[in-house]
Structure 1
Amino acid sequence: MKLSEQQRQQMRDLMHQGRQDSPEFNAEDVEAMHKLVIAEQFDEAAVRAQITKMMQVQIERQVQMTRVRNQMYNLLTPEQKNILDQKHQQRMKEMRQQVSMLNQMSAQ
């Protein structure tokens, strides 16, 4: 899909701002999970708490990414939106076919 130079610049700006607004990666969370994996005794409550903490950060990243994608989508002309929507429908059709094939294979 062809974008105008103004659209490209606006999208670059949105992506740059989105990266700045996104929560930072926290290596301490990964280290905490590793310690739970190698512990002598499995502590399900601690694992669940750590996963919940890590998922909250992931949710914030996804919300921010979706916000940026929405803003980018709304920069498009109606014709560009139509092209993008058609491509999305094609990808969804292909994905459904792949899932169906995988489900059939696992049922055997």
Structure 2
Amino acid sequence: MGYIITSLCRICNLSNEFFLGGGKFNHQTHFPVPAINKETLEFESINYFEHKDSNKYDFYSYKALQGNNTNENTINYSNLYFNQKDNLCPKCRNKPFAFRVTMFVD
């Protein structure tokens, strides 16, 4: 089971919607996660299985992209933890970028 997540930056109003995790039929090969492309500095939702060993992306599960949150403010999926608030915004480079689960998918 995965999630549909919405994100919003409280400073620059950057927002988007993306999937986190795979569904019932593809969870072993398809694992979309939020990341910043190091070359373009753009937000992307990419397949973690294909890019986890790549140096092309910084994943939002990395502490460098997260603010100071405690574990009760995280979205957990397959041993990865994503902060619900105070993440680094790829547009304004501040840390008011928030993730909210809007739907569970399977």
Normalised-by-shorter TM-score class: under 0.3
Which one has the bigger strand percentage? 2
By relative contact order (CA 8 Å, sep 6+), the higher-ranking structure is: 1
